[in-house]
Chain A
Amino acid sequence: MNIFESIGSGLRTRIKNLMEFYLFMIQVLRKVFSFHKQRQIGSIVLLRQIMFTGYEALPLIIFLALSIGGLIILEGNYILGGFGQSQLVYVILVTVVIRELSSILTALIVIARSGTAISTELGNMTINNEINLLRSFGISPISYLVVSRFIGVVVGMFLLTIYFNLAAVIGGWLFSTIFYPINFSFFMNQFLYHLSFADIIIFVIKSIVFGMAIALISCYQGLKVTTATTEVPQRTIKAAVTSVIAVIIGDIIITILFYIL
C-alpha cells in the first residue's frame, strides 16, 4: 500500500465514522422528543443519571469552585490592588469564572465521572448480551439507555454549572475577606453589577452544548464495543479524549460566535 492509498483509506474510515456518529446523533435527538412515551420504564434510568451526574459530583464541584473563585480573587486583588484597580476583580470573576472556567471545568469533571462511567457501562452491557435482551423485548436501546442518559447528563451538567458559579462567587467573597473585611451583600452587589444577561446566556448555552456532546460521544463509544472485554477500556479512553476535544472546540466556537454576533 503506497502513502496515498494509506492516507485515502484513513480518510475514508474517518469520514465513515463521522457519518455514523452523525446518524447516531440524529437518531438520539429525534428520540428525545418521544421520551415521554417510554417514561414508565425510562424514568428510573433518567433519575439515576441525574442523581449520579448532577448530585453525587456536588462535593467535588463545590470544592473546586470555592478554590478557583477564591484563588482568582486572591491573585486579582494582589495584582490589581497594586494599580489601585481592585474593583476590576469582579470583571475577572465574571469573565474568567462565569463565562469560561465554570462550564469547562464542570465538563471535565462530568467527562471524568459520568462520561467514562457511561461508556464502560454500555460497553459491558453489549458484551453481556443486555443490549440484545432489550432488543428482544422490542425496547430500543437508544430510547431506553441513550436518551435517558443524554437528558440526565445535560440536566446534570446544567445544574452542576450553576452550583459551580454560586460556589465560585462565595469562594471569591471568602478569600476577599483575607485582604479587608467586606460585607457579603456589598460583594454580591458589585458582582451582580458587573454580571450581564449575556454572561448568563453564554454559560447556559455552553453547559447544555457540552452536556450534549459528552453524553452523545460517551454513549456512542460504549455502544461501539462488540465482543471483547478488552474493547471496553479502549472505547472509554476514546470517549474521554474525544469529549475533551469536542468541549474545547465547542468552547472556542461559542466564544467566537458570541463576540462576532
Chain B
Amino acid sequence: MSVLEIRNLVVQVEEQKIFDQISFELENKECLLIVGSHGYYNGILLNTIVGFYEPAEGAVTFEGVDIYSKTEEELVALRKKVSFVFQEGVFLANLSVLENLLLPVKFYSKKFIQSKVMKEIKEYCDFFEVPPVLQKRPAFISYTSKKLLSLIRALITHPEMIILNKPLFNLDIRNQKRVIHVLKEMKSQGKTLVISSNSFDVIKALADRVIHIEKKDIKKILNRQDKDFIQQVKQLDILSDLVGVEDEI
C-alpha cells in the first residue's frame, strides 16, 4: 500500500515553474532517496511534501489524505507519524536545547514522562558523542551538534516515517557512519524513510528507490530490484562521495 503519493505536482516559486506534473509513490516501509545536482529543487520538493509550499496543481497525499486540503488541526495526527529533519538543524532560539528536544514529545504525549525521554536522549547523545550542551541555547552550539540533535529530536518522537534533508551534509566521516547506522536501524524496524542526499553510501546502505530530480522533472527512477542497480546509481554523475579525482590523476 502506498503511504505517500505525489500526483501531477506543479510547483511554482515566485511565478517560476519549478516542477511540472511530477508524480511518484512511496510504499510503506520503503526508503526513497531523492538525488539531484541542485539541492534547491530537492529542498523545494521536500518542503512541498512536508506541507510548507502549497503546489499550484496536483496533490500530496499521506495515507490517502491530501495534506493541502486539511487544516493544521486536522493534520496533527499525521504530523505525529511523520518527522521532518531540516538540513541545517533548526531550533527555537529562545528555548534551551533540551526544551527544544522535549517540545514535540511533550506536545504529542498525553502523559509525558520526562525520565523516560531523558534516558533515550542520553543514549543517543552518548552514541553520537554530542558534547554536554543540553542546557545551552541553540546559538551557542556547533553546526554538527545542531544537526545531530535535530535528528535525535526526530528519533525520540518514534515516527512511522522520517523525512530528512541532506542528513550527512557537513558531518565528519565518523558521524556520517553513525547517522547511516541509525537510519538502517530505523529501516529494519519497518519505518518509512524519505531522504534527500547525493551520498552513494546512503543509497547503497538504505535506498529501495532512487529518484533523480532535475529542473521541472524527474530524470530517472531506479529500483533496487532492477538489474545492475548499484552500477546504474554509480552512473549518476551527481553523487557527492564518488568524485573519482584520484582515478583521473
Residues of A that sit less than 8 Å from B by CB: 38, 40-41, 44, 48, 121, 124-125, 128-130, 132-140
For A121, the chain B residues whose CB sits under 8 A away are: 94
Which residues does B use to contact A, with CB under 8 Å? Answer: 47, 50-52, 72-73, 75-76, 78-80, 83-84, 86, 88, 90-94, 99, 103-104, 106-107, 112
Interface of A is mostly: helix
Q: List 15 A-B contacts (CB under 8 A).
A: A38-B107, A44-B99, A48-B94, A121-B94, A129-B88, A130-B90, A130-B92, A133-B91, A135-B72, A136-B83, A137-B107, A138-B72, A138-B75, A139-B103, A140-B73
Contact partners of B52 in chain A: CB under 8 A: 132, 135-136
Q: Are B75 and A133 in contact (CB under 8 A)?
A: no
Complex formed: what's the CA distance from A130 to B73 in Å?
18
Q: For residue A130, which residues in chain B have a CB less than 8 angstroms away from its CB?
A: 90-93
- For the complex formed, measure the closest distance between the CB of B99 and the CB atoms of chain A, giving whole angstroms: 8
Name the distance in Å between A37's Cβ and chain B's nearest Cβ.
10
Instruction: Please name all residues of chain A whose beta carbon is closer than 8 Å to the beta carbon of B73 when the two chains form the complex.
Output: 140
Q: From B100, which residue of chain A is reached at the shortest CB distance?
A: A133
Instruction: Tell me if B79 and A137 are in contact (CB < 8 A).
Output: yes
Q: Most chain-B Cβ atoms within 10 A of its Cβ — which of A129, A137, A139? A: A137
With CB as the reference atom, state the residue of chain B lying closest to A34.
Answer: B73
- Find out whether the CB atom of B107 lies under 8 angstroms from the CB atom of A139: yes
Q: How far is the CB of B40 from chain A (nearest CB, A)?
A: 14
CA distance A138 to B91 in the complex (A): 15
Pairs of residues from A and B, 8 with the lowest C-beta to C-beta distance, nearest first = A138-B79, A138-B76, A136-B84, A137-B104, A129-B90, A133-B90, A140-B72, A40-B106
Name the residue on B nearest A139 (C-beta). Answer: B107
B71 to chain A, nearest CB (A): 9
A135 to B82, CA, bound (A): 12
A138 touches B86 (CB 8 A): no
Across the interface, A41 reaches (CB within 8 A) one of B80, B84, B103, namely B103
Q: Once the chains are docked, how many angstroms separate the CA of A138 from the CA of B80?
A: 7
In the complex, are the beta carbons of B51 and A135 less than 8 A apart? Answer: yes
| Contact A128:B90 (CB < 8 A) given known A135-B52, A140-B72, A140-B73 | yes
**Would you call A138 and B107 a contact (CB within 8 A)?**
yes
Which of B47, B73, B103 has most chain A Cβ within 10 Å? B103
Q: In the bound complex, what is the Cα–Cα distance between A132 and B103 (angstroms)?
A: 14
| Also in contact, A40 and B90, with CB within 8 A (given A138-B79, A140-B72, A140-B73) | no
Contact A125 B93 (CB under 8 A): yes
Residues of A within 8 Å of B94, CB to CB, are 48, 121
A137 touches B86 (CB 8 A): no
Q: How far is the CA of A129 from the CA of B52 in the complex (A)?
A: 10
Known: A40-B112, A129-B86, A132-B52. A137 touches B93 (CB 8 A): no
Docked pose: A135 CA to B53 CA in angstroms: 12
A134 to B79, CA, bound (A): 11
Q: A125-B93, A135-B72 are in contact. List 19 more A-B contacts (CB 8 A).
A: A40-B112, A41-B107, A48-B94, A125-B92, A128-B93, A129-B88, A132-B47, A132-B52, A132-B86, A132-B90, A133-B92, A135-B51, A136-B50, A136-B79, A136-B86, A137-B107, A138-B76, A138-B79, A140-B73
> How far apart are the CA atoms of A133 and B85 in the complex, in Å?
9
| B50 (CB) vs chain A CBs: closest residue | A136
Which residue of chain B lies nearest to A31 when distances are taken between CB atoms in the complex?
Answer: B73
Q: Once the chains bind, are A41 and B106 in contact (CB under 8 Å)?
A: yes
Docked Cα-Cα span, A133 to B52, in Å, equals 10
B98 CB to nearest chain A CB (Å): 12
Min CB gap B91→A, angstroms: 8
Tell me, in angstroms, the Cα distance from A133 to B86 when the chains sit together: 8
Q: What is the CA–CA distance of A218 and B73 in the complex, to the nearest angstrom?
A: 24
Q: Could you tell me if A137 and B103 are in contact, using CB atoms closer than 8 angstroms?
A: yes
Nearest B residue to A129 via CB reads: B90
- Chain A residues, Cβ within 8 Å of B79: 136-138
**Beta-carbon nearest neighbor of B73 in chain A:** A140
A140 to B80 CA separation, bound complex (whole angstroms):
13
With a CB–CB cut-off of 8 A, which chain A residues contact B86?
129, 132-133, 136
Chain A residue contacts of B84, Cβ below 8 A = 136
Which residues from chain B contact A135 at a C-beta distance below 8 Å?
A: 51-52, 72
Cα A124 to Cα B94 with chains together (Å): 11
Contact for A40 among B76, B80, B92, B107, CB less than 8 A: B107
Minimum distance in angstroms from A174 CB to a CB of chain B: 39
Q: How far apart are the CA atoms of A128 and B92 in the complex, in Å?
A: 9
For A133, the chain B residues whose CB sits under 8 A away are: 86, 90-92
